């Protein structure tokens, strides 16, 4: 298998006339979140024998990662379509070169177990904490629309994930829109219950975003890197226990929280950008504009670079 990978990469490097040694290849600067891509790649053995240096930059959530990419501080990173849409509406210059199909995602709106909130309609007049422009933000907008509740009838409180958890515990907010592993921790540790999840409410894709300069000068590294990520997720499908253990070790998350998180995670790294993936992203952008979350409509299709393709 390693011989095969080496042959593929050698052919790729030759095709783009890039020097073949790690010393001559420019480093790839990758933005990541704690416990995410880097940990997965290491657990799957995909950080072995990389023919270029990977310089990792860690971010607490996706929004600052996109800001760093727009500032040319990093070359590439993965963020949700909700975060990407928010950035594009603000004028960010980035291109999506790879897509993960998250299916129904892993976000949820959680409430205290004894809260008198049992349906999305019950959120009227209440305060919902969330990270602005995040998958949680997207879920709130989609769930309210599905329930026929105007967004104006709910107070959105923009907080970091850590602050939102504390606010919900203290009663400063009434509900919290967040994603795993925070959802799993809320269920298992904080006696919270899921009011509504993203399943059946909203479909999401994860965008592998790169800068124009990286696409122009580091195509071989980018292609190799997303291939490694795809193989790592294929490995993870058959190694949920090992994936959870690696995440728990890296982040200090209790193993039961990590296990629940990855037991319900469904990630498919597509070999190429598809019309369906672009349509899912466009639906998110349209929903955000319709709800007044972003100031102008966003046409996402031109922000996708379909020239990156992996072997099926």
Instruction: Sketch out the chain's domains with CATH numbers.
Output: 2-102+204-273 (3.40.190.10), 107-197 (3.40.190.10)
- Say whether pLDDT at 2 is over 60: no
- Using alpha carbons only, how large is the chain's radius of gyration in Å? 20
CB 78 within 8 A of CB 41: no
**DSSP assignment letter at 121:** G
pLDDT of residue 105: 65
Q: Which of 1-5, 50-54, 155-159, 304-308 has the lowest mean pLDDT?
A: 1-5
Residue-wise pLDDT for 94-148, tens only, equals 999 999 987 666 899 999 999 999 999 999 999 999 998 888 999 999 999 999 9
- Say whether pLDDT at 309 is over 80: yes
pLDDT of residue 15: 37
Among residues 260, 140, 129, the alpha carbon closest in space to that of 196 is found at 140
* 284 burial type by CB count under 10 A (0-12 exposed, 13-18 middle, 19+ buried): buried
pLDDT of residue 103: 65
Q: Which residues contact 249 (CB under 8 A, 6 or more apart)?
A: none
pLDDT of residue 199: 86
Residue-wise pLDDT for 267-278, tens only, equals 889 999 999 999
- Where does the pLDDT of residue 83 fall: very low under 50, low under 70, confident under 90, or very high at 90 and above? very high
Q: Which residues contact 114 (CB under 8 A, 6 or more apart)?
A: none
pLDDT of residue 14: 37
The runs of H, that is alpha helices, within 218-310 are: 219-237, 240-251, 255-263, 275-290
Rounded Cα distance between 268 and 231, Å, is 10
- Where does the pLDDT of residue 47 fall: very low under 50, low under 70, confident under 90, or very high at 90 and above? very high
Rounded Cα distance between 244 and 212, Å, is 34
Residue 62's Cα: distance from chain center in Å?
7
Rounded Cα distance between 48 and 36, Å, is 17
């Amino acid at each position: 298998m390693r011989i095969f990978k080496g042959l593929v990469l050698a052919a790729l490097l030759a095709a783009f006339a890039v020097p073949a040694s790690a010393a001559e290849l420019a480093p790839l600067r990758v933005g990541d979140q704690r416990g995410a891509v880097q940990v997965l790649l290491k657990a799957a053995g995909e950080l072995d024998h990389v023919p270029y240096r990977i310089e990792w930059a860690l971010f607490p959530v996706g929004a600052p990662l996109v800001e760093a990419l727009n500032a040319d501080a990093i070359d590439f990173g993965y963020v949700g379509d909700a975060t990407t849409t928010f950035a594009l509406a603000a004028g960010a210059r980035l291109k999506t070169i790879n897509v993960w199909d998250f299916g129904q995602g892993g976000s949820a709106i959680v409430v205290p177990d004894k809260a008198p909130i049992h349906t999305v309609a019950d959120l009227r007049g209440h305060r919902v904490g969330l990270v602005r422009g995040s998958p949680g933000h997207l879920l709130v907008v989609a769930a309210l629309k599905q329930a026929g509740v105007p967004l104006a009838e709910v107070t959105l409180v923009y907080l970091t994930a850590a602050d939102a958890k504390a606010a919900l515990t203290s009663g400063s907010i009434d509900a919290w829109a967040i994603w795993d592993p925070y959802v799993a921790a809320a269920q298992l540790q904080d006696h919270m219950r899921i009011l509504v999840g993203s399943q059946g409410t909203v479909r999401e894709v994860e965008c592998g975003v790169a800068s124009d300069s990286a696409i122009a000068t580091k195509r071989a590294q980018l292609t190799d890197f997303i291939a490694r990520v795809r193989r790592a997720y294929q490995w993870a499908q058959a190694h949920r226990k090992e994936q959870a253990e690696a995440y728990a070790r890296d982040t200090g998350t209790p193993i039961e929280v990590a296990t629940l998180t990855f037991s319900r995670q469904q990630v498919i790294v597509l070999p190429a950008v598809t019309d369906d993936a672009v349509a899912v992203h466009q639906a998110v952008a349209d929903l955000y504009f319709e709800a007044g979350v972003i100031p102008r409509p966003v046409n996402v299709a031109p922000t996708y670079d379909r020239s990156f393709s992996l072997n099926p």
